[in-house]
Amino acid sequence: MTFDREKILEYCNRISKNTLMDTLNIEYIDAGEGFLVAKMPVNATVHQPMGLLHGGASVALAESVGSAASFLFINPELSEVRGIEISANHLKAKRNGVVTATARIIHQGSSIHLWEIRITDENENLISLCKLTNMVLPKRKKQEA
């Protein structure tokens, strides 16, 4: 399989339209063998009441980039991905600017993918460290509403 960075980024950004990723202004910005990177602005949209980056927004960023990254290893015509567990350690506060999440594969099994997602700021300070487990399932037919 040939790796087409631009095609992957275009796909990830296109399928994010009208989703939570779009609401949080998450943008996929880099991809390579075994990793995917996305960024998210930190502003009032993702703040908690004390004016800091909300931990839930960080977790949403981590799960978004880690789940999208699993698509690098599957055939989306035959399989689909479901996040089954995520954990996050929030290590540093952030009030404004941009955070960047880098998902790197730790384990790539046929049915389980384990990702480490490091969320950093513009100065490479570690904001959150997350771990995401995804399950790879056979694709199901969409049910009509």
SS3 category, 9: helix
Is 144 a residue whose pLDDT tops 70?
no
pTM, rounded to two decimals: 0.93
Give residue 60's identity as a one-letter amino acid code.
Answer: A
Catalytic residue list contains 33: no
Residue 26, Cβ neighbours under 10 Å: how many? 25
The whole-number pLDDT of residue 45 equals 95
Do residues 142 and 107 lie in contact, with contact meaning Cβ atoms separated by under 8 Å? Answer: no
**Catalytic one of 33, 63, 77, 124:** 63
The whole-number pLDDT of residue 1 equals 45
The whole-angstrom separation of Cα 92 and Cα 128 is: 7
Q: Report pLDDT digits (tens) over 92-139.
A: 999 999 999 999 999 999 999 999 999 999 999 999 999 999 999 999
The residue that leads in pLDDT, 142 or 8, is 8
Reported for 44-52, long-range contacts at CB under 8 A and 24+ positions apart, including other chains, are 47/95, 51/95, 52/93, 52/94, 52/95
The whole-number pLDDT of residue 130 equals 98
The residue that leads in pLDDT, 127 or 2, is 127
If residue 133 lies in a helix (H) or strand (E), which one and from where to where? strand 126-138
Is 9 a residue whose pLDDT tops 90?
yes
Domains of the chain in sequence order: 5-138 (3.10.129.10)
The whole-angstrom separation of Cα 29 and Cα 7 is: 12
